[in-house]
Structures are given as structure tokens and as C-alpha cells.
Amino acid sequence: MPTYQYIAKDRAGAEYRGTYEDIGDITSLRAELSRLGYVLIEASRAQAPSRLRGRITQQDVVAFAYKLAGMYSAGLSVIQCLETLETQSEKPALRGVIADIKERLQGGASLRKAFEPHKQVFSEFFVGMLEAGEAGGKLADSLEMSAVYLEKKAELRNKIRSAFVYPVSVGVVCLGILACLLVFVVPVFIKLYDRLHVLLPWPTLLLVNLSGMLRGWGGLVVLSGIGFGIWLAKGRLRDAETRRRWDRLKLEIPVLGRLNRLILVTRFVRPFAMLISVGLSVIDALRIAGRVSGNEEMTQISEALQKSARAGNPVGRSLEAHPIFPPVIVQMAVSGEQVGRLAEMLGKGADILDRDIDRMIGALIVKLEPALTLVMGLVIGLVLLGVYLPMFDYMTQVS
């Protein structure tokens, strides 16, 4: 049976915190505490470690948000919505998360406190929208906008992944063909050239050395080195300064830098606009938007914008001080503040950036396809040239 953590008061008003094991549900816990002379204030199930939580995908969260928004808008209470979603969910991990949220709400927790332990699943933005919607009486709007945002975020991620499917596939095919040539084809020619006592040019010698390395322990050493390098890089990225440098580098690299900047600005501007539209303060919205952007450089910019907002500066002029924000976003913010429609104008600005991102991804794919095909042809052609070059020299000497 589950274990519950609770807060209760006695008849004198003194507050107590404790843990109750082997109790069926919160209703039973409330009755048991009442029998002992206590009044239950808040309760939540003690969270056991779950290995299934990582299996909740972004698409699962998007579907959950849309269903929750639709049912709540239809007049059901949040707990009724969660009970229905728990029953309908086909994934045990998601059912467990929904059950825990429902029990926290039944124990007296607010929406934010109920969802906060699972913000790695739903994102800090989603939790912030729930808090703002509950406090401002716009919960239905908050849920609907959260679902829209999560869907747009998932769509953008899928577009980026699909843009790199082709180059990654070509790279894998090219490496596979190259490995097959070095392991199976080159050794055959090496034996032939040994029998003919042909002097090998440097391209062929390079292939011979690479082939020997792959067929011996060298390949394992290289793979181990690559694996160690990846592990070391992941460890270094846990350091805040290293992560900040890496995030800054992603915004400055040729070709992809401008695309990364637009994506990052969209990830910041859209949640910021949605958060202030449901009543969250500008400073809190900037803080949450900076965190959900997923980039240390933007987090630093967000902190600077918060300082500027505390000093009483308008949002548009504060954005203008940071070159990462395109002029269209700055102008939308300035115009929005002038007419009192900042959230709406910033949302339209994010839509404009989304269309720019789509065009850039399409243009990038068009440029990558012939370039990668050419690179693949050059690599395989150089390998074949290295293999057959001694044969041409031998035929010239014989003739």
C-alpha cells in the first residue's frame, strides 16, 4: 500500500508533519487522523523512484495537455479530468504521474505544488502557466495555450530532426562503405601488390595503414577513444561555464548559427508572451522563459532583462539592447507596449520567426543534399584511386 506525507493540525492549532504508511488513500488518511484528533491540511503520496518515467515522450505530454484543456473547458473539475485521463492512459509511467498529481490535489495542494515534482515531464513553463491561470482565474485559457505551446515545440523539434536525417544517413552510409572497402577490398589488393613487388604510392600506403588498423586492435582503440571523448564531453557540459561557452558557440558557428539564434529566440519569446497573457508578472515570465529556452546564454540574457524590467524600462527597449533579438521582435514589443497588447504582438512575432525557420531549414536541406553527395563520391573515389593507382603504375611498367 502507498505511503503518504502529510501536514496536520491538532485542536490547539499546532502544525505537525509526518509520514503515514500502509493507508489506502487520502480519504482514509483524513479519517484516521481525525480519529486521532488531528485535522488534515495537506497530503501527498511519498514518491518512489520510477524507472518508467523516462518513457513519457513529448507527444504524450502534448496529448495530455490538450485533453486536460478540453475537459476542463467543458466544465469538469481538474480532479475529474485527471481521473479520466488516468483511466484512459495506456502508458504505466504516465498513469503513475497522473495518479500522483491527483492525490496531491486531493490532499489540498495547489496546482503548482501538485505538478511541480513532475516539471521535468511537463516543463517549468507548463507549471508556471498553471500557477498563473489558477491565480488569475484563467485556468482554461492557460491549459489551452500550454497545449498549443507544447505542440509547437514538438513540431519544431521534429522539423530540426528531419532536417538532419538525410545528412546523418548519408554520413552513416559513407562510413559503412568506406569501412567495407578497407576491411574486405583493400587486403585483397595488398596481397596482389606484395606478389607483384609494386612500389606503393602514399595514397595506397595510407589505405594500407587504415585497413590494418581497422582489422587489428586499432579500430577498437579508436572506438574506445571516441566513446571516452563523448563521456568526457558530457561530464564537462555539467559545468555551468563550459555549458555557457558551448551554448554561445552554437549561436556563432557558420551556416547553422543564424538558424540556432532564431530557434532560441522563438523558444524564449513564445512562452514569455503566453505567460504574461495569463497574468504572470513580466519579471516572473522572463525568468521562466529564460529557463525553458534550454540555453545558458539566453538564461544570462533573461537575467539582464529582469534587471532592466525592475529598473522600470519597457520590454521593447530592453530587448533592443541584446543583438540576438531580431528587429521584428523588438518592433513588435515596442508596438505592443504602446497599444497595450504586448503578449499578442510578441506571439505574432514568434509566428513570423517560425516561418523564417521553416524557410531556412528548407534552404539548408536543398544545399546539403548535393554537397553531401559530392563529399561521399569524393571519399569513395579517393579510396578506389588509392586501390587502383599501383595497378596503373604496374601496367605502365609492363607495357
The CATH number that applies at residue 210 is 1.20.81.30
Confidence check: pLDDT of 49 > 50: no
> What phi and psi, each to the nearest 5 degrees, are found at residue 137?
70, 25
- Residue-wise pLDDT tens digits, 235-259: 666 666 777 787 888 888 887 888 8
Is residue 251 within 8 Å of 261, Cβ to Cβ? yes
Separation of first and last alpha carbons in the chain: 90
Which of 29-33, 91-95, 223-227 bottoms out in mean pLDDT, i.e. has the lowest? Answer: 223-227
Residue 88 has pLDDT above 80, yes or no: yes
Gyration radius of the chain over CA positions: 30
Q: Which of 54-58, 214-218, 273-277 has the lowest mean pLDDT?
A: 214-218
Q: How many CB atoms lie within 10 A of CB 338?
A: 12
193 lies in a domain? yes
Determine the pLDDT at residue 53: 46
What's the CA gap between 78 and 71, in Å, rounded?
8
CB 297, CB 244: distance < 8 Å: yes
DSSP 3-state of 57:
coil
Whether residue 302 lies inside any domain: the answer is yes
* Type of residue numbered 217: W
* More confident position, 22 or 271: 271
| Residue 54: all three cell numbers together | 523516462
Amino acid letter, residue 294: G
Q: Is 194 inside a domain boundary? A: yes
Task: Please tell me which residue, 88 or 228, carries the higher pLDDT value.
Answer: 88
What is the total count of domains within the chain?
Answer: 2
- Structural domain containing residue 26: 1-46
Residue 369 in domain: yes
Lowest mean pLDDT among 11-25, 177-191, 268-282: 11-25
DSSP result, 83-123: HHHHHH---HHHHHHHHHHHHHHHTT--HHHHHGGGHHHH-
Determine, yes or no, domain membership for 297: yes
Q: How many helices (H) and strands (E) does the chain have?
A: 18, 3
Q: What is the pLDDT of residue 21?
A: 62
Mean pLDDT of 296-321: 92
The reply to whether 21 falls in a domain is yes
How far CA 138 is from CA of 248, 276, 280, in Å, comes to 37, 12, 11
For residues 356 and 222, membership in a common domain is answered with yes
Task: Please provide the average confidence, as pLDDT, over all residues in the chain.
Answer: 83
Determine contact, residues 75/93, Cβ cutoff 8 Å: no
Looking at 137-141, 207-211, 391-395, which range is the least confident one? 391-395
Cβ–Cβ < 8 Å for 358, 160: no
* Residue 251 DSSP class: T
- By C-alpha distance, which of 204, 295, 213, 285 is closest to 247? 295
Q: Are residues 202 and 350 in the same domain?
A: yes
Residue with cell 480519504: 27
pLDDT of 193 reads: 79
| pLDDT digit string, tens, across residues 198-226 | 777 888 888 888 888 777 666 667 677 77
User: Does the pLDDT at position 1 exceed 70?
Assistant: no
Residue 154 lies in a domain: no
Task: Please say whether the beta carbons of 27 and 5 come within 8 A.
Answer: no
